[in-house]
Amino acid sequence: MVGEKNYFKTFKKNIFCGFLPMHPISFRKKIFFQAIVLVMLFYPLQILSQTTYTSKIQWSSQLIYQENAFQENVWSGHQVPGEPDAFPPGGLHKNAFRLRSRADIGRFVVGFSRPQPITNVIIVENFLPGRIAQVKLIDEEGYSYVIYQSVASASADNFRTLVLAFPRTLYKVREVEVSLNTLAAPGNSQIDAIGICDCDDIGDIRAELRGANFNIHRQLTFVSAREKMSEQINSKYSETKPLVSHDGKTLYFSRMFYPGNTGGREDPQDIYYSNLINGTWSKAHNIGKPFNDAHSNGVCSVSPDGNSLLVINAYMPDGSILPGVSISRKTDEGWSVPEKVEIDDFYNFSEFQDFFLSPDGKVLIMALQRKDSRGDQDLYISFKKGYNHYSRPKNMGTTLNTSSAEFSPFISQDQTTLYFASEGHSGFGQSDIFFSYRLDSTWLNWSQPRNIGPAINTSSWDAYFSITNDGRYAYFVSSEGSRRDAESIYRIALLKDIHEAPGKVEIAFKGTVYDAQTRHPIQAMISLTGKSGDNLSRLIQADELTGSFQIGLAESGMYSLEVQTPGYIRFEDEFVVDIHAGKDIRREFFLQRISPGQVINIDHIQFEQGKADLLEVSIPYVQKLIRVMLDNPGLTIELAGHTDRLGNREANIRLSEERVLHIKEHLVAAGVDAWRVQTVGYGGSRPIAPSDSEQNRAINRRVEITITNIGMSR
């Protein structure tokens, strides 16, 4: 029988899991590179039922926030929304964001009218690229995700379009934050436009750059280097097939010819597991019966509820095994004896076999060698027909399969992306990891496979790629740097959520925003930033109807808070959080509406005695006024200076005029147009308190703001 022949061959090598340090054909095949094409990681494609693919870039629609822009309107974040319009690229242009000086730091946040899952961020750097320090995505709940971090440096190019690609987000992206840093590489670096896209082909992006190629650079978005798992997981023997349960608490993998295997060092492969305890994987344990025996054993996939394991081998009632695959289910007494999965017309000419069951259990993907294979193992697919019953395997086509081996399949959680290993597609070494997107509901039409890139693939043997359910990490196997081609388990961070998941947050910061005059709730943007080690940076929106918001806090320390909305004076504060106190923080915020004729007294502005020079203690309050003016570009004001009644009347008038002129100079230097600020000095002619004490005279020494207009700027 074919099955028996294949079965006995398995004792020579690590078989039923489809894993070897190298397939025999690899010893004859040498892969060299004269040029490495920059390939992209992970842009899973939505399942499309239509016959044509029409993915489009969604350009940002509004500026949410900016910090340290060169000016308020032109040369600012207000020029970023919309399609690229700073033409020609390669020079300074007023229709783009740039920092206040050539050596500076700053950032801006842009929003999108249609929040959506994405696989790409497109950043048009129209002048002096390379100074982007960080890029964040912000979802509809206000959670932020770092997708790009870099040490800013000068680029050889005058302009470029930076395309960041990553696994398709499980959330809808509402905003994108871009941070610039020109301190290490001074220059007037500019950003013209920001776009998001859920697309596969770079042609979809190029086609929308108004017919021009803005020097596209595609870049991987790993936030860290690949990490070899600790000795709790890896041994001096080979480990393979890492799979993390959907709750993230259990790591399953296999060890080859390990002394602790059921059959000792002659046992080709046993299943092991490790538990996640306080963020660290525990020492691995042999899973034991009913899975492990003297043959090759391995876990192929884990059900979403964690209650079923798909394992290699067809476990027979008499205790024997045959080529194939089985399912075990968790019971009150433990795992059940694996039950053979029936696959119509199942056979396999190869001594290797792999399986993966889709999250919904409807599709079974296999790596087999059959009559219609192209040469070695090919990828096949079967569809569920009934309980533990799947259809005859269909070859998944020549787009995926080559004359060499394709194996170790893994399907993404949304069932749109296939990851697999190949020795036939062009790669970096003996076996590389690739990914491809499903183009329709037949499961037989796939995009051209892409190499996952040098951050994961090496000149050695790389395979068995899987992604955790939360999308934080990818696990895989590599023989790089090992003795005797032994494989070890690695992981690499993918999208890094910089906040704890809601279930892990220890306390909540809860607030409500009101109009100070009407006491009615209002919508506002809340920015909360950790000041010790940048442990938190959040920008969320208060509810439009209730004015309420909530931010999870998982770190103690000093925080800086800003509450702002157009037409109101921004609220700013700092406070200390003690997570260990275990109490939620509740605050109410009353924002002052900006209206014509309104008079605002700037408290705490102090000058040197008898002079117009500001004391250092006054600078933060002048900066607050600057931010009010920058937040409201149509706002015009009158600055009125007042002194007490002591001294010469004319001298007091001149002093009060000089003082408000000095404040105006600060505003203009920060980018506020001079025409927006009128000044007048009243000396001591308009007291608001009697002059009978020093305390009252101090009250009379003041600067008042009168709002003269809140209309559109020129």
In-domain check, residue 268: yes
Indicate whether 608 and 584 sit together in one domain.
Answer: no
In-domain check, residue 239: yes
- What does the pLDDT read at residue 9? 31
Indicate whether 343 and 366 sit together in one domain.
Answer: yes
Indicate whether 153 and 251 sit together in one domain.
Answer: no
- What does the pLDDT read at residue 483? 65
- What does the pLDDT read at residue 1? 31
Contact 438, 47 (CB under 8 A): yes
In-domain check, residue 651: yes
Residue for token pair 């860290």: 224
Indicate whether 520 and 449 sit together in one domain.
Answer: no
CATH code assigned at 518: 2.60.40.10
Which stretches of the chain score pLDDT less than 70?
A: 1-55, 151, 167, 200-201, 210-212, 219-224, 483-484, 495-506, 531-541, 543-545, 554, 601-604, 711-714
Q: Which amino acid is at 695?
A: Q
**Rounded CA gap, 677 and 697, in Å?**
27
How far, CA to CA in Å, does 86 sit from each of 133, 160, 182, 183, 214? 22, 13, 20, 24, 12
247-260 tens-digit pLDDT: 889 999 999 999 99
Q: Which residues pair with 376 in a beta bridge?
A: none
In-domain check, residue 519: yes
- What does the pLDDT read at residue 489? 96
Indicate whether 147 and 273 sit together in one domain.
Answer: no
**Rounded CA gap, 555 and 509, in Å?**
12
How far, CA to CA in Å, does 691 sit from each of 482, 611, 642, 683? 85, 20, 13, 14
Nearest to 240 by CA among 280, 271, 276, 262: 271
169-198 tens-digit pLDDT: 778 999 999 999 998 889 999 999 999 998
Indicate whether 479 and 510 sit together in one domain.
Answer: no
Structure tokens at 155: 């680029």
**Rounded CA gap, 680 and 372, in Å?**
90
Out of 168, 191, 220, a domain closes at: 220
CATH code assigned at 287: 2.120.10.30
The distance from CA 550 to its chain's CA centroid, rounded to whole angstroms, is 21
- What does the pLDDT read at residue 390? 96
First to last CA, the chain: 86
Indicate whether 475 and 398 sit together in one domain.
Answer: yes
Out of 591, 619, 648, a domain closes at: 591
Indicate whether 391 and 467 sit together in one domain.
Answer: yes
Indicate whether 466 and 562 sit together in one domain.
Answer: no
**Rounded CA gap, 672 and 670, in Å?**
6
Q: Which amino acid is at 318?
A: D
Indicate whether 579 and 608 sit together in one domain.
Answer: no
Indicate whether 388 and 440 sit together in one domain.
Answer: yes
Indicate whether 559 and 605 sit together in one domain.
Answer: no
In-domain check, residue 4: no
Out of 220, 248, 282, a domain closes at: 220
- What does the pLDDT read at residue 593? 84
Q: Into how many domains does the chain fold? A: 4
- Its pTM stands at 0.49
CB burial readout 659-681, b (16+ within 10 A) else e: bbebbbebbeebbbbeebbebeb
**Rounded CA gap, 186 and 180, in Å?**
11
**Rounded CA gap, 509 and 538, in Å?**
12
- What does the pLDDT read at residue 323? 94
How far, CA to CA in Å, does 630 sit from each of 26, 70, 71, 102? 63, 11, 9, 20
3 state DSSP class of 165: strand
CATH code assigned at 64: 2.60.120.260
For 265: left if phi > 0, alpha if psi spans -120 to 50, otherwise beta; the answer is alpha
- What does the pLDDT read at residue 429? 80
In-domain check, residue 147: yes
Q: What domain range is 262 assigned to?
A: 231-494
How far, CA to CA in Å, does 248 sit from each of 240, 361, 529? 18, 20, 29
Q: Which helix (H) or strand (E) holds 635?
A: none
Those residues with Cβ within 8 angstroms of residue 480's Cβ, 6 or more apart along the chain or in another chain: 458, 459, 460, 462
CATH code assigned at 666: 3.30.1330.60
- What does the pLDDT read at residue 31? 35
In-domain check, residue 26: no
Compute how many other C-beta atoms are within 10 angstroms of the C-beta atom of residue 531. Answer: 13
In-domain check, residue 361: yes
